[in-house]
Amino acid sequence: MLIEVKNLSYKFNDFTALENVSFEIEKGDIVAIIGPNGSGKTTLLQNIIGVLSPTTGTITIDGEKPRDVRKKIGYVPQKFEFDRTIPISVHEFMSLEKCGKKGHDEKNIIEALREVGLEDVEEKQLGHLSGGQFQRVMIARALLHEKEILIFDEPSTGIDLVGEKTIYDLIKKINEDRGTTCLIVSHELNIVNKYTKKVVCINKQMVCYGSPEIVITPETLQKLYGSGTGLYHPHNHIH
Ligand code: ADP
Ligand code: MG
């Protein structure tokens, strides 16, 4: 088992954000985490990458504490605060992410941009990219180092349907080509069904965990979002 979350609870002072959450993720899996706003998804991810530490319970990655294996994990945050007026090119932005070995940086940057289909924007200003392109640059940045695990927090928020499909196709391709274990927080249930093998449903507490066809039921959705959400459209496929 690559990632083991056992009886995880997390409190911000007196406020309980996560309570008794347990699940396991195998190497090479692609897993979605779903739940309403404020249900603790980002808090869960931050515990997994070792930025936060469990109040009670444990998380292990390859048997070790997350903060001891941070180098194995790439994180694409929910909101990367960026002032679009800052004059910085895509290439310069990517260069800020150090690659270690001298001389390999330039090649790595081009390869990573090619992998996300953006080699033609290398010299463009970061602030001039579309939302979808910007997010793909963020993914390319995470690809600069060989990571065992990639974590995406709502990667398609604010991006149109075509851009969204591009991003999820890309994540799937990285998962298949590199064997990278991928965790994605998503609101899009259609996407979850189509792209992921397993889904963790949380609402502070664990609601369910398993393959989407089995665990995403009307009852689960009721527990997550209450009634009348209209969130689930099983026939509304993306073409
Ligand atoms: P989600 O990502 O599912 O929308 P979050 O993990 O961001 O939810 O937040 C879970 C809960 O914890 C929310 O009620 C949020 O207001 C609270 N929370 C998040 N960060 C902090 C913080 N730094 N201090 C106090 N409360 C926080
Ligand atoms: Mg969040």
Residue 179 lies in a domain: yes
Asked if residue 236 is part of any domain, the answer here is no
Residue 209 CA: distances (Å) to CA of 110, 201, 215, 234: 38, 6, 7, 19
Q: How many helices (H) and strands (E) does the chain have?
A: 8, 9
228 lines ligand 1 (CB under 6 A): no
User: What span, in angstroms and rounded, lies between the C-alpha atoms of 159 and 70?
Assistant: 29
Residue numbers of the chain with a pLDDT score lower than 50: 230, 233-239
Distance 44 CA to ligand 2 centre (A): 9
Spacing, Cα 185 to ligand 2 middle (Å): 8
Is 95 within a domain? no
pLDDT in tens, 42-81: 999 999 999 999 999 999 999 999 999 999 999 998 877 7
Alpha-carbon distance of 234 to 231, in angstroms, equals 10
The answer to whether residue 177 is domain-embedded is yes
- In-domain check, residue 237: no
Q: Is residue 211 part of a domain?
A: yes
**Ligand 1 atom with least separation from CA of 36:** 3
Chain segment 187-211, per-residue pLDDT in tens: 788 888 889 989 999 999 999 999 9
Please give the distance, rounded to the nearest whole angstrom, from the Cα atom of residue 189 to the centre of ligand 2: 16
pLDDT attached to residue 77: 86
Taking the CA atoms of 174, 179, 184 and 188 in sequence, report the sign of the dihedral they define: positive
Q: Look at residue 132 and tell me if it is in a domain.
A: no
Point out the ligand nearest to the CA of residue 157.
2
Indicate whether 172 belongs to any domain. Answer: yes
User: Torsions phi, psi of 94, nearest 5?
Assistant: -65, -35
Q: How many domains in the chain?
A: 1
**Domain extent at residue 217:** 3-82+147-229
Q: Residue 73 is part of a domain; what is its CATH number?
A: 3.40.50.300
Position 38 scores a pLDDT of: 94
